[in-house]
Amino acid sequence: MNSFIEARLQLARADFTLDVDLKLPGHGVTALFGPSGCGKTTCLRSLAGLERARGRVTVNQKIWQDDQSKQWLPTHQRALGYVFQEASLFAHLSVQKNIAYGLKRTPVERRQVSKERAVELLGIGHLLERMPATLSGGERQRVAIARALATSPEVLLMDEPLAALDAQRKAEVLPYLEQLQRQLQIPIVYVSHSMDEVARLAQHMVLLNAGRVLAQGSVTELLSNLDLPLAHGDVASSVVHATVQSHDAADHLSTLIFDGGQLQLVMARPRQVGSQVQLRVQARDVSLSLHRPEASSILNILPMQVLGLREDGPGQTMVSLQAGNTRLLARITQHSARALALQAGMQVYAQIKGMALLD
Ligand SMILES: Nc1ncnc2c1ncn2[C@@H]1O[C@H](COP(=O)(O)OP(=O)(O)OP(=O)(O)O)[C@@H](O)[C@H]1O
């Protein structure tokens, strides 16, 4: 089956070579993730035609570039919206006119996102008459995203759109990004080097290293793949997708169900029953036992199967676990792994000492 976006890209610079083969889905957010200098921006710019890599790019089976048959669409003829780190608005045009500019670029028959819809999705209705210089960084970035959306792109390309914002502004813009991907069918390719952002926003991930693809697939799977660097070290974590099943108001305790079991979480602000939530569980917050611990203060004790284990630095072992379709990592001491005689296939109880709600 064809992927929505297929890109084979090669580009050589003095000290850097990009050589990637990407197959990206036509829905949700795909994160391009990896260390500084690994080629995330170069990759995104090459997809957009802002960088002249060699190769072939097809989006929704339309050819944007094919060097073999000498086809090349310039950026403005590619149905994409591009959001840069720093919002690049026209300083002499009001917010309204900036967005209208995006719309004007789009032939009537291709218009799918109206100006009103873009304005509503980004919550900028009250800013329409303002000039860019009078906006905060977060507001500017929301306008830039609305302008990109108003072109009704087949794909939104975002290059660390939150990187230039402080923590407070980031928190202000993130919910709009989440809303975008929930409400629109437009796939987003999102460059980030922040695992927090990736865990919160993305369902798919391309892991880059030194200009190459180390792995691509679902975020949940890649995070817990012991063959990849993400699943190692003190910051390794997993993401659990769950649905709110009930809420006990007296104890402020919500019961969440996920594919593989259920969890309980104290929620100061309870979510509606039936709503979807994402939880991040740090590997260091998960311990293991062979029998269900009795009379424990730990709320969440889940029966899981050991998928594999790997030494993880001096004296530590990373254990990958599965229940249903859900994966978790547990970082325990090598001593404990030996004492429990852990091995792939064993049934264990994972005790989760803490988890964070991602949205
Ligand atoms: N215009 C340029 N001219 C020459 N080399 C460049 C240019 N832009 C980027 N590079 C180099 O290409 C490599 C990839 O850079 P790129 O910006 O794609 O990485 P990145 O993963 O996006 O990094 P970061 O997370 O720091 O933004 C780096 O070695 C960088 O120094």
Q: Which of 10, 16, 85, 159 to mutate to test the pocket of ligand 1 (most atoms within 8 A of CB)?
A: 16
The pLDDT value recorded for residue 350 is: 97
The pLDDT value recorded for residue 305 is: 98
Any atom of ligand 1 within 6 Å of the Cβ of 38: yes
* Distance between CA atoms of residues 262 and 242, nearest Å: 8
The pLDDT value recorded for residue 1 is: 56
What number does the ligand 1 atom closest to the CA of 42 have?
Answer: 18
Question: What is each CA distance from 90 to 100, 144, 201, 229, in whole angstroms?
Answer: 12, 10, 28, 41
* Distance between CA atoms of residues 168 and 160, nearest Å: 16
The pLDDT value recorded for residue 164 is: 82
Summarised one tens digit per residue, pLDDT across range 8-47 is 999 999 999 999 999 999 999 999 999 999 999 999 999 9
ipTM of predicted complex: 0.96
Inter-residue contact 30 to 20 (CB < 8 Å): no
Cα of 36 vs centre of ligand 1, distance in Å, is 8
Question: What is each CA distance from 331 to 29, 318, 326, in whole angstroms?
Answer: 28, 5, 17
Domains belonging to the chain, first-starting first, are 5-223 (3.40.50.300), 237-357 (2.40.50.100)
Cα of 182 vs centre of ligand 1, distance in Å, is 31
**Residues with pLDDT less than 50, the chain:** none
Inter-residue contact 23 to 216 (CB < 8 Å): yes
Q: Which of 11, 19, 42 to mutate to test the pocket of ligand 1 (most atoms within 8 A of CB)?
A: 42
DSSP calls for 143-209 = HHHHHHHTT--SEEEEESTTTTS-HHHHHHHHHHHHHHHHH----EEEEES-HHHHHHH-SEEEEEE
Cα of 13 vs centre of ligand 1, distance in Å, is 9
The pLDDT value recorded for residue 151 is: 86
pTM: 0.88
Inter-residue contact 36 to 193 (CB < 8 Å): yes
